[in-house]
């Protein structure tokens, strides 16, 4: 599961001679999650703030309850009413998040080039569709398997993840792209995770009202970490 959470999205955008520095991402979001076969799922809504210069991610949750998930380096802090509740260790979420990939214009290969993978093959299809296969570097081959990307009109529309035994473990589908300040941003990400005992977990992430390089609300982007000593 941690492999899926550390990877993220596409489109190579040709810029003028002096490239603009994209450093802040803000968006309203919703997350719908459900285990296939179970009657009830989960809905989470809120606003996300990310500044790649400070590498902090702030998920300001509105529903089902007011709280904040603050990610910095390899730690996520859960806050309720500005009170520290818990923390847990994660992958370096800021650097490997979809938000960072969007701002850094690294969506053309879904972060594979800098994520320990080498391009193995490329197959051209119809209507501008391209399928590329990426294999992990030798040091990672006992941990993860290949990744297959599908691009349409230079946008990644599907990603498939395999384990070291060449068994498919997850799929991402990227939909409803929009250009915001010249950056391609997917409006929806559909995720399917294949779990042990033939269980399947589905997640839909939606982004709306995307703002790039916002001025103001500095305290949302460079938040003060809780003092838990």
pLDDT digit string, tens, across residues 22-77: 999 999 999 999 999 998 999 999 999 999 999 899 999 999 999 999 999 889 99
Across the range 77-89, mean pLDDT stands at 92
Angle value at C-alpha 134, between 133 and 140, nearest 5 degrees: 145
Supply the mean pLDDT for the chain.
87
Across the range 1-15, mean pLDDT stands at 33
Please give the model's pTM, rounded to 2 decimal places: 0.83
CA 53 to CA 115: how far, in whole Å?
20
What's residue 80's pLDDT? 94
What sign has the CA pseudo-torsion 179, 184, 185, 191? positive
Strand partners for 48: 27, 59
DSSP-based helix, strand, coil % in the chain, nearest 5: 10, 50, 35
Which position has the token pair 């879904």?
110
**Proportion of the chain above pLDDT 70, given as a percent:** 89
Per-position DSSP letters for 16-64, written without gaps between them: -SS-----EEEEEEEEEEEETT-S--EEEEEEEEEETTTTEEEEEEEES
Domains by residue range for the chain, with CATH: 2-11+22-208 (2.50.20.10)
Strand partners for 26: 49, 211
Q: What's the Cα-to-Cα distance from 133 to each of 104, 113, 143, rounded to whole Å?
A: 22, 12, 17
Strand partners for 122: 132
């Amino acid at each position: 599961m941690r492999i899926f959470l550390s990877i993220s999205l596409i489109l190579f955008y040709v810029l003028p001679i002096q490239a603009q520095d994209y450093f802040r991402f803000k968006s309203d979001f919703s997350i719908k999650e459900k285990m296939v076969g179970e009657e009830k799922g989960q809905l989470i809504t809120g606003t996300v703030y990310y500044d790649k210069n400070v590498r902090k991610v702030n998920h300001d949750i509105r529903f089902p309850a007011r709280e904040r998930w603050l990610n910095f380096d390899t730690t996520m802090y859960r806050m309720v009413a500005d009170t520290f509740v818990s923390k847990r260790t994660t992958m370096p979420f800021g650097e490997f998040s979809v938000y960072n990939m969007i701002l850094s214009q690294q969506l053309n290969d879904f972060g594979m080039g800098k994520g320990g993978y080498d391009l193995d093959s490329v197959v051209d299809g119809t209507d501008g569709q391209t399928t590329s296969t990426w294999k992990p570097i030798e040091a990672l081959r006992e941990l993860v398997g290949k990744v297959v990307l599908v691009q349409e009109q230079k946008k990644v529309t599907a990603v498939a993840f395999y384990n070291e035994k060449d068994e498919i473990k997850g799929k991402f589908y990227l939909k409803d792209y929009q250009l915001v300040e010249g950056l391609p941003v997917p409006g929806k990400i559909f995720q399917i995770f294949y779990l042990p005992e033939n269980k399947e977990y589905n997640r839909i992430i939606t982004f709306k009202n995307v703002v790039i390089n916002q001025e103001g609300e500095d305290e949302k982007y460079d938040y003060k970490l809780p003092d838990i000593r």
